[in-house]
Amino acid sequence: MFMLPRYLHPSFSKLKVMPKKTTPVDTRHYSRIVVDGLKQTPSRAMLRAVGFVDADFDKSQVGIASTWSNLTPCNMHIDELARLAAGGVEAAGAKAITFNTITVSDGISMGTPGMRYSLVSREVIADSIETVVGAQGFDGVVAIGGCDKNMPGCLMALARLDRPAVFVYGGTIRPGAENRDIVSVFEAVGGNAQGTVSEQQLKFVERTAIPGPGSCSGMYTANTMASAIEALGMSLPNSSAQDAVSSQKRDDCARAGAAVVNLIKLGITPRQILTRRSFENAITVVIALGGSTNAVLHLLAIASSADVKLKLDDFTRIGKRVPVLADLRPSGRYSMSDLIAIGGIQPLMKTLLDAKLLHGDCLTVSGATLAENLRHVAPYAEGQQIVRALRDPIKKDSHLVILSGNLAPEGAVAKITGKEGLRFAGKARVFNSEEDSLQGILGGKVQAGDVVVIRYEGPKGGPGMREMLSPTAAIMGKGLGQAVALITDGRFSGGSHGFVVGHVSPEAALGGPLALVRTGDGITIDAECREITLQVSAAELKRRRKSWVPPKPYARRGALAKYASSVSSASLGAVTDLEQAIHVAKSW
């Protein structure tokens, strides 16, 4: 039988044992419907075949939602982590049942038609976890994710289900040779096109950048979302800052199993944790870390699933008072493993809490509040260069800048670290797909002073809102990072950097102003005024609109077609539960 190490047992951990409620908690609220009584004899017979014995039918049942697959390094080790979480559940006195959901690899599908399925997979993952847990009557859930979309997908499902639950991050990959990572490979492709990287050098980068299991090693989308989920209170302290292959990550999984059983006994569910104040904590931590623009999209989607009122303006409001402190890739120098070595994000969160930038009263899956979890956290050691002091920020306010204007009436999301400058004015170079833009960049059509426009890549138009890592990396590799801006109704990988603006809404496929832009038009992006302006008169835009013809749908059947028919605007999180998104929006 799996046994928790003594120092990981609930009675020796930070798990909070709260006073008993006056009304006893039914620890088998859902499973008893499935397995109790004469009429459920067939259900018990089926479960005996998968290993249940008599005593198991009297225990709480916990589903272990695993995103394991060997199609990507991000998830290739999660089968082992799922077994450890299941062991933690059973050592704490409940019964664990493991099931799988899908994952897709952004890094592998990037720049191809397959990338259209990436954001779609977030919805499929959320739907599949909700489906299994709802059908099987689990009393609690441990969800384990290790890649960009399965992490928010897990959280969306947990919020919908509202049963005691803990999220576990699969952990970060260690950097490759010469501190390289996947973004190094994409940028080397651009360098090869420019002539600064030889074929031999490119091959070396390809062979050495990805050394083993774990998610991409910078503050890209996976590490950003892991940090955001920890700040939300939905994972145990420090779960976001552990190497995928480490004793700390193994222990995290076992403790998560024990934690969910504790939550079942306490009657604590995700919607008690996922409050508006906890989302404000998540936004604050994402900004301080210099995290991915995808956090905007995913936090909006998770909030919608939790029925929490969150909108783009909240990122602006919080961003005015929260600085960027972490010097992490892609715009900075250090990797997630470097941050792990100095203590992870817990000391950063303690700093933010002490500065009254976090809400310490928010409940977490430890059963304790955020402030209680951080009470004994020590500050970073003197002399470390990775996380700046509040008095010496990298940027005094947020790098996630919400823009609006005649080019984005419903908003757009820019990633402006300050290194790119705060204002860009140039002439549009228009492309109607990511493939066309990459060909244009690598082929020399894009020149200094251009604003690259990539359209018809939005949630409906793509469909699937592809990430533009290939074009942005090519721009960097070509040496144009300081001389070119890029705007799109698609989105960006957390690995993208440069003067980039995504999530332009309404999207071009719906006739948004982006559809009316022509090569040579003037475009101004002003991060200080938070405006993105097409220098074309309203009368001329009205004339162009009369001749605009919507593009033919990319897909007429299957998952992409279903997604395109039901997905909301990026400004609402690009969720497919459109009615819920509209309900939350109307309640603002």
Residue 396, number of CB atoms within 10 A of its CB = 12
- Given a contact cutoff of 8 angstroms between Cβ atoms, the answer to whether 329 and 219 are in contact is yes
User: What residue type is 305 in one-letter code?
Assistant: S
What is the distance between the terminal CA atoms of the chain, rounded to a whole angstrom? Answer: 51
Neighbours of 217 (CB within 10 A): 32
DSSP 72-121: STTTTTHHHHHHHHHHHHHHTT-EEEEEE-----HHHHTTSGGGGHHHHH
- Which member of 305, 493, 568, 571 is catalytic? 493
Cis check: omega of the bond before 330, within 30 degrees of 0: yes
Quick check: is 493 catalytic? yes
DSSP element (H, E) containing 505:
strand 499-505
Beta strands per DSSP E along 270-407: 400-405
φ, ψ for residue 128, nearest 5 deg = -70, -40
Q: Is 455 left (phi over 0), alpha (psi -120 to 50) or beta?
A: beta
Tell me the three state secondary structure of residue 530. Answer: coil
What Cα–Cα distance (Å) separates residue 240 from each residue in 169, 233, 388, 420, 524?
A: 6, 11, 19, 28, 37
Structure token digits, residue 519? 């090569």
- Report the Cα 370 to chain-centroid distance in Å: 21
Distance CA 431, CA 434 (A): 7
User: Tokens at residue 298, please?
Assistant: 């995913």
Which among 208, 213, 218 is positioned nearest to 177, based on CA atoms? 208
Give me the active site residues, please. 493
